[in-house]
Amino acid sequence: MEPVKNVNPGNKKVKTNWEVLLGAAFLMATSAIGPGFLTQTTVFTQQLAASFGFVILMSIALDVGAQLNVWRIIAVSEKRGQDIANMVFPGLGYLVALLIVLGGLAFNIGNIAGAGLGLNVILGVTPVTGAIISAVIGIGIFLVKEAGKAMDRFAQFAGFVMIGLTVYVAFASAPPVGEAVVKSIMPDKIDMFAIITLVGGTVGGYITFAGGHRLLDAGICGVEALPEVTKSSISGILVTAIMRVVLFLAALGIVAQGLAIDPANPPASVFKLAAGEAGYKVFGIVMWAAAITSVIGAAYTSVSFIKTFSTTVAKNEKLMIIGFILASTLIFAIVGRPVKVLVLVGALNGLILPITLATILVGAYMKKIVGDYKHPLWMTIFGGLVVVVMSYMGAYTLIKELPKLFL
């Protein structure tokens, strides 16, 4: 089959509006805020206590360095990540697409499981039944005529609900905020595995490209759109950071009180210990909202990485997305989702980031990709530092830490 060369059919430019920009930001943010996000944040807060604040600050800095570069070059080139990679080095785009689709599928199994667990808490149905109901809801969004707008609005609504409810739990847990601020700057311990896992779970794999690809589909691209693209990318990072900090404080309050967090379901334990049975129900809502939006984001972005390789895939994009959700649901129903897998997938997604970001940075200086556009030197340096740091921590993780997850 002939590859699709134009990722933005007709190169149509639509009027830039905040609804689309905010939608892209929340698509990226809610893609990051999934069951793995909730589990990782709680597990590492339990391990590092207030010093986990430093890990969050480091991850936010690395997130900014990655997002600013990736979204900007996608917008300027008006090409998707896999097509940029193929122009940098023939065949590289196929490898990147393969890594991201496999990572997206692995994440989505955890996402659909988390959605099932959320409905189990809210409605009392079994996790598998909850997963099936959630899959039907996710598929329904892509059956709507204007699926892009439906996806944007759903992500925004769910994002606000998650943050608002978690703020309530954070207040209920009464965390030592002063200690958290001090340890965020002067930690007792620096945990590289925690940093790479957080970065991987926030902007690793498909998540880095979710918002950028969404803006392309909406026609918001080109040099003239860069101010809006930058605002949208920063907004997405801020939403994710706010949720991470609030959840960290909620968990820290429980840890500081010396209460035991259930290792079988760490985030649920935090919500219940902080606010009793009402807190447990709040957890169910937050878990479901986090999971279902991540199901949608993972499916949409993963398919966006293969649709330019085939006209058949491009013409049947909605069906491919629906198939992706169905496959994730089926695998979960058969296999299940241990907590360790969610932490592991976040770490592995962090290992993909240096490859994709390095490719984008090289593409930023190739005229056949960006034309006469001049990429800011400080962004290149910032992005280069992220590549070096994530490569080093990724190698460290592979050698020292990942084997421990299987013991």
In the prediction, which pLDDT does 342 show? Answer: 53
231-257 average pLDDT score: 91
Q: Is residue 54 part of a domain?
A: yes
Establish how many alpha carbons lie within 13 A of residue 289's alpha carbon, considering only the half-sphere containing its beta carbon.
24
The answer on pLDDT for 3 being more than 80 is no
Task: Select from 303, 323, 291, 309 the least CA-distant residue to 127.
Answer: 291
d(CA 336, CA 48): 28
In the prediction, which pLDDT does 9 show? Answer: 44
d(CA 294, CA 290): 6
**Residue 220 DSSP class:** -
Kindly state the tokens that stand for 401: 């830490």
Residue in the structure block whose two tokens are 């925004």: 156
148-182 per-position pLDDT tens digit: 888 888 888 888 899 999 999 999 999 999 999 99
In the prediction, which pLDDT does 81 show? Answer: 92
Q: Is residue 63 part of a domain?
A: yes
The answer on pLDDT for 13 being more than 90 is no
Residue 72's pLDDT band, with cuts at 50, 70 and 90, is very high
Q: Is residue 276 part of a domain?
A: yes
Asked if residues 296 and 280 have their Cβ atoms less than 8 Å apart, the reply is no
Mean pLDDT of the chain: 85
Q: Is residue 1 part of a domain?
A: no
Burial 112-136 (b: 16+ CB within 10 A, else e): bbbbbbbbbbbeeeebbebbbbbbe
* Count of helix runs (H) and strand runs (E) in the chain: 17, 0
In the prediction, which pLDDT does 1 show? Answer: 34
Q: Is residue 4 part of a domain?
A: no
Could you tell me the end-to-end alpha-carbon distance of the chain, in angstroms, rounded to an integer? Answer: 45
The answer on pLDDT for 273 being more than 70 is yes
Residue 246's pLDDT band, with cuts at 50, 70 and 90, is very high
Least confident of 19-28, 152-161, 234-243, 290-299: 19-28
The DSSP result for 133-166, as a single string, is HHHHHHHHHHHSTTHHHHHHHHHHHHHHHHHHHH
Burial 2-34 (b: 16+ CB within 10 A, else e): eebeebbeeeeeeebeeebbbbbbbbbbbbbbb
276-284 average pLDDT score: 91
Q: Is residue 204 part of a domain?
A: yes
Report the number of distinct structural domains present in the chain.
1
Q: Which domain holds residue 46?
A: 15-406
Interhelix angle 377-396/192-203, nearest 10 degrees? 120
373-400 per-position pLDDT tens digit: 999 999 999 999 889 887 877 677 667 6
Asked if residues 397 and 192 have their Cβ atoms less than 8 Å apart, the reply is yes
The answer on pLDDT for 325 being more than 80 is yes
d(CA 204, CA 63): 9
d(CA 106, CA 102): 6
The answer on pLDDT for 343 being more than 80 is no
Q: Is residue 238 part of a domain?
A: yes
Asked if residues 283 and 121 have their Cβ atoms less than 8 Å apart, the reply is yes
Asked if residues 44 and 186 have their Cβ atoms less than 8 Å apart, the reply is no
d(CA 229, CA 21): 7
Asked if residues 366 and 106 have their Cβ atoms less than 8 Å apart, the reply is no
- pTM of the model as a whole: 0.83
CATH number at residue 96: 1.20.1740.10
The answer on pLDDT for 84 being more than 50 is yes
91 backbone dihedrals φ, ψ, rounded to 5°: 95, -20
